[in-house]
Structure 1
Amino acid sequence: MKSTNLKNLAVLLLAGSIYAFAPFKVVSYKVDGQSSKLNWQAKKATGEHSGTIAVSSGTLNVENNVLKGGSFELDTKSITVTDVTDAETNGKLLGHLKSDDFFGVEKYPKANFVITSAKPLTGGQYEIKGKLTIKGVTNEVSFPATVKVDNAKLTANAKITVDRSKYGIKFRSKSFFENLGDKLIYDDFDLNVALVANK
């Protein structure tokens, strides 16, 4: 009897140790482009402008409820201007943003971001590093993000500050032109990203 009990105990301990050291399965969450949002904001010497860009696709990888990696893609042709109410003025600004002076959407209809590392901190906070590609140019960026995994749904929120001069967007940039005065457009612009992804 004692021998049988010892054998049973040994089996349980072995099973527990295997479970404890077994790797967690990586689960992929597909980004919902309809529910996800991206708002942009750019500033100039005389004011600022803002608008949206559609998130077209993406995948975020999670292991044991911890973000491990992933990527998402933007449809640059979908860019809008939301702060200008006059239709004619809005159309002119939008056309300029879509031109080669800025995002060149006909030649570069997609932009994307790929996570290279996701360092978990506390309370769902992460330090994200990755590669952002705009107009065919790729640069490394880093930023804080908040990620929440709730069973079959994942939400991620972040503010990414982008230096446009690193992507060849030169129009009225102090990095390429001097004495711009009130025509100056600042190099940094912000992308406020709110991703929703489903298992």
Structure 2
Amino acid sequence: MKKIILSLVVVTTLSLTSCKKEAESTEPVETAAEASADANTFKVDATKSSIEWVGTKPAGKHNGTISLSAGELSLNNGKVESGKFTIDMNSITVLDLKAGDGKEDLEGHLKGLGKEEDADHFFNTKKFPEGTFEITSVETVDAKTTVNGNLTLKGITKPVSFPASIAVDGNNLTLSSESFKINRTLWGVNYASKSIFDNLKDKFVDDEIELKVTVTATK
């Protein structure tokens, strides 16, 4: 694992030297959904809500979590009408490494806490400490539910959809997504992306990050 971390550091220098072009998304950003007057509001429990992530590259992969700090979901007649939650980007945690074995270094890199000129290639949490996800619609077709919304990271908003299950038990509401992927470069997280930079050979990190969202909220 130490070799993986060291190779990531080396790639930073390489990736800054030969840029192709910024990634673009042609999908339109929709207006956030609004709750009806008689909807019930469920407040997100930050201690029980998080986003699991997996990042991959030819030499291996890493996984971890990001915490949610606040949010709410509106429920009417058993259906989620709207919702928004705040993502604490400074809570990015690596779970597959131990302290002293590259864990702190990788967490720092992901947060963009290294050299100032490198920060924009990561999540730059000093400048952008929070992200948000705001629901635009929730659709259920053939018993399969899809949550559509706007994900904002680093001040950039892009549409994201994911399959999810939504369960209500009294005053408790749980939204659990299936695993889905986003292209990190759409939010300007360009570090070691071979779609953005040339001459990386096998020293690249995959553009797609796998995510799984779990939100627990109470009325």
- TM-score, with length taken from structure 2: 0.76
Q: Does 1:144 align with 2:157?
A: no
1:180 CA drift (Å)? 1.6
Q: Does 1:73 align with 2:86?
A: yes
Q: Does 1:191 align with 2:196?
A: no
Which residue of 1 is the match for residue 181 of structure 2?
Answer: 161
Q: Distance in 1 between matches of 2:169 and 2:37?
A: 17
Which aligned pairs between 1:103-142 and structure 2 lie closer than 5 A? 103-121=123-141, 123=143, 125-142=144-161
1:152 CA drift (Å)? 0.6
Amino acid at match of 1:191: L
Which residue of 1 is the match for residue 102 of structure 2?
Answer: 89
Q: How many residues align?
A: 176
Q: Does 1:28 align with 2:41?
A: yes
Q: Does 1:64 align with 2:77?
A: yes
Amino acid at match of 1:113: F
Amino acid at match of 2:100: A
Q: Distance in 1 between matches of 2:44 and 2:142?
A: 24
Amino acid at match of 2:188: G
After superposing on structure 2, the runs of 4+ consecutive aligned residues of structure 1 that deviate more than 3 Å are none
Distance 1:152 1:45, change over 3 A: same
**% identical aligned pairs:** 38
Q: Gapped runs of 5+ residues in structure 1?
A: 1-22
- TM-score, with length taken from structure 1: 0.83
Indicate the SS of the match to 1:173.
coil
Distance 1:83 1:166, change over 3 A: same
CA deviations over 1:113-135 (Å, ceiling 9, x no partner): 00001012355x41111100011
Q: Distance in 2 between matches of 1:174 and 1:118?
A: 34
* Bigger strand share: 1
Which residue of 1 is the match for residue 58 of structure 2?
Answer: 45
Amino acid at match of 2:104: G
Q: Distance in 2 between matches of 1:107 and 1:91?
A: 20
Q: Which has the higher contact order (CA 8 A, sep 6+)?
A: 2
Distance 1:102 1:128, change over 3 A: same
Q: Distance in 1 between matches of 2:180 and 2:130?
A: 17
Which residue of 2 is the match for residue 171 of structure 1?
Answer: 191
Amino acid at match of 2:190: K
- Tell me the C-alpha RMSD between the 2 structures: 1.6
Q: Distance in 1 between matches of 2:148 and 2:201?
A: 35
Amino acid at match of 1:111: G
1:88 CA drift (Å)? 4.4
Amino acid at match of 1:92: D
Highest Rg: 1 or 2? 1
Q: Distance in 2 between matches of 1:62 and 1:186?
A: 37
CA deviations over 1:79-102 (Å, ceiling 9, x no partner): 111111252411111111111131
1:35 CA drift (Å)? 1.3
